[in-house]
Structure formats: structure tokens, C-alpha cells
Amino acid sequence: MIIRALLAVVSVCSLPHATHCVVKKHHASVSTLYYQNASRFGGTALAEYPLLRTGYGVTSNVEAFYDAPSELAISARGAHYEMAHSGIGATTSVAQDGNVDLLLTAESRPPLSPLSNLYILPLSDADLTAAWSALSGTNFAAQVGTMNFIATNRGHRRSSMFDDLSASRAVGNGTWFSGELGQQSNATYGSAGETRGIASLKRAIGTDTLFNLDLGTAFNAGGNSKPHYLGAGFTFLH
């Protein structure tokens, strides 16, 4: 019991835990990301920006968020621009036990992931995340969820399961490194699932701003796509 009391509860939305938390009541968060990706086999080649998400703490354990429309600069299938739709969702802390926090998130019209196939049009998703911190100072998270989407090359509605494991650790004063491994079934209609990895370096700028640099890749081809990407963005907590 003494050890459990010493462990951090990661629902407190501080910079080291900004990815897996609920914003405090009547506080806000803003995150933005720019990324450029490409694929060895085609099927994806784009830049997307600003990927702007605004969150607000409705209660002590419920955060509502809004994903603003983003512009897609698509190189595949002839260079052109498209506007991605906006999305709305919520995250709630459903249970806390010592150092473990369970978070449930659901969203309508979620944004396109940097490692998604271009033939996917997300409709909705929901996931359950367990986040915890160890005495060593390493933060862990495990996530499982489902996404509903339209495979635009076939015009069919589909659903797929996804899961992720991630860990982050301080590598200096105000600097953290994190790694994530995950997979998603049915990358598009009739395709194999996709396994992926993401490495991130995060740096605190002041007391309420976080800068992150991301590098991600798919380890196998799914739906004629094996993308990799480079991204950078900011998170503001207020």
C-alpha cells in the first residue's frame, strides 16, 4: 500500500502525461500537428495540417474535444488538395486505482492517422486506455479500440480493431522520449492488417507548452500502402 501511494496518478493533466489524461475542470488544452508521409508502394502520399484539437474539462473526469478541419495536400493519384472534415468527441476517466487510470474515448468523424491508407474515410472510433506510472519514472499506456470507416475504393462500410502499447521516460530536464507499437486490422477493404511503430521526442517550453517531434512507420504493407511519416507539433495546457 505504501508503494502504491507513492505512484503517480496519470489522470493529472501535466506536460509529461498530456497524451493520456483528462483536462482539469474548466481548463483547456490545444494541440496541433503537421506531418508529411509517403509510402513505398503508393496508396498514400500527403501532408496534413494543422490537425488542431481543442479540449475542455467539462467536469473533473470528463473532457470534450473538437478536431478542426485540416487541409490535405495529396501527391498520390494526381497532386491535389482536399479538406478533411471536423470531428467531435469526449474522453472520460472511468476508473482509478492507485497508479492506474482507465480512460474511455469516443469520437465522431475522427481525423485521418498519419499511417492510414488514403482509401480510408473514418466515421467513428472508440477506445479504452489504461495508463500508469512506475517508480522508475517511466509512464506506460495500453490501448484497445475499434474504428468504423468507409473504404472509398469499394464504397463499403467496414470496422477494424486496433491496439497500442506505449512507454515514455524523461531523458533530461523537461525532455521525454516515448515509443509506441501497435496494430490495426483490415487496413482497408479486403487487406491485411497493419503493424506500426512511432518514436517521439517531447520538450517542455515553459510551464504549459510542449513541443513534440514524431517519426512513424508501418512495418508491413496493408491495402497497397506501407507508409512512414515525420511530424511536429505543439500542445498547450491552460
What's residue 125's pLDDT? Answer: 96
Mean pLDDT over residues 185-208, rounded?
Answer: 85
Residue 224 to residue 19: CA distance in whole angstroms: 30
Structure confidence by residue, pLDDT tens digits, 105-163: 999 999 988 888 777 889 999 999 999 988 788 999 999 999 999 887 777 788 889 99
What are the sequence ranges of the domains in the chain? 2-237
Beta-strand pair 28-39/175-184: unpaired
- Alpha-carbon separation of residue 193 from 48, 110, 120, 189 (angstroms): 23, 19, 13, 10
Percent of the chain beyond pLDDT 90?
A: 53
Mean pLDDT over residues 58-64, rounded?
Answer: 94
Residue 37 to residue 46: CA distance in whole angstroms: 6
Residue 98 to residue 172: CA distance in whole angstroms: 26
Dihedral of the alpha carbons of 197, 19, 67, 44, in degrees to the nearest 10: -10
Residue 9 pLDDT > 60: no
| Average pLDDT over the chain, rounded to an integer | 86
Instruction: State the fold for domain 2-237.
Output: Porin (2.40.160)
Residue 194 pLDDT > 60: yes
Residue 69 pLDDT > 80: yes
Mean pLDDT over residues 209-231, rounded?
Answer: 90
172 contacts: CB under 8 Å, gap ≥ 6: none
Residue 236 pLDDT > 50: yes
Mean pLDDT over residues 28-35, rounded?
Answer: 94
What's residue 12's pLDDT? Answer: 57
